[in-house]
Amino acid sequence: MEHYMMNLTLKVWRQKNADSNGSFETYEAKDISSEMSFLEMFDVLNEKLIREGKDPIAFDHDCREGICGMCSMYINGRPHGPWHGTTTCQLHMRAFKDGDTIVIEPWRANAFPVIKDLMVDRTAFDRIIQAGGYISVNTGNAVDANATPIEKDKADASFAAAACIGCGACVAACKNSSAMLFVSAKVAHLALLPQGGPERKSRVIGMIAQMDKEGFGACTATGACEAVCPKEISISNIARLNTEYISSGLMADK
């Protein structure tokens, strides 16, 4: 693949904290390699800002391998940028052209307050997972891998749902700031497996109650969440979540 250098104009959202008013600031990113990742490009820009005695741009990052879900940036109107099924850290600068202007913002949702610049507080997701409680297991010696038979279609669907990294792109893309795709992935992951059976009903009720408490919006099934999910989580999980919730409520009434 051809390697080339480019000069870019970046319009970056700067905000001191959740209580401050933010605004876009314009920066020139020069001599950027097409083979840099988007986060490496930000590293270069921040080194320049530090040399100039300016405050570097705050952004979340950790693994830089598309696993942790921290690199939450809204790039030119799309969570994680223009590439499909890709986190921001996996996005490379060859996705852009020399002379491009790139607009970068944080996630926009009441349940994700801005910490600083491009960093948002996503601990609402942690509290939703905690509301799901635990799974019952028998401790002791490890059982044989095939001791609990699981149908392949259910195992595959559970594995696909478990791929969710909790980045919040689904919330950022949704016009209602709904967390239904995230919650449905977490519920489906365990609801499809026998290990998740004992707490199946209380789990879905607790997680949805916490989701509503956190202030996420309702799902109106536009599909924007699925379209931008870096792990391509299917909205079919939302249908499964609704079924789990309804059946749990019916059983609770008996």
pLDDT of residue 197: 87
Burial of 244 (0-12, 13-18, 19+ CB in 10 A): buried
What does the pLDDT look like over 161-219, one tens digit per residue? 999 999 999 999 999 999 999 999 999 999 999 888 889 999 999 999 999 999 999 99
Residue 34 DSSP code = T
Alpha-carbon dihedral sign for residues 169, 172, 173, 175: positive
The answer to whether the beta carbons of residues 240 and 185 sit under 8 Å apart is: no
The answer to whether the beta carbons of residues 89 and 54 sit under 8 Å apart is: no
Paired tokens of 145: 């891998």
d(CA 236, CA 119): 30
pLDDT of residue 136: 78
What does the pLDDT look like over 29-59, one tens digit per residue? 999 999 999 999 999 999 999 999 999 999 9
pLDDT of residue 198: 86
pTM attached to this predicted model: 0.92
Does residue 228 register a pLDDT over 90? yes
Q: Hey, which residues does 24 pair with through a beta bridge? A: 13
pLDDT of residue 140: 76
What does the pLDDT look like over 121-153, one tens digit per residue? 999 999 999 999 888 777 778 777 677 788 999
d(CA 39, CA 64): 8
- pLDDT band, very low/low/confident/very high, at 250 (cuts 50, 70, 90): low
What does the pLDDT look like over 78-113, one tens digit per residue? 999 999 999 999 999 999 999 999 999 999 999 999
Question: Hey, what domains does the chain have and what are their CATH numbers?
Answer: 5-105 (3.10.20.30), 123-253 (1.10.1060.10)
pLDDT of residue 254: 47
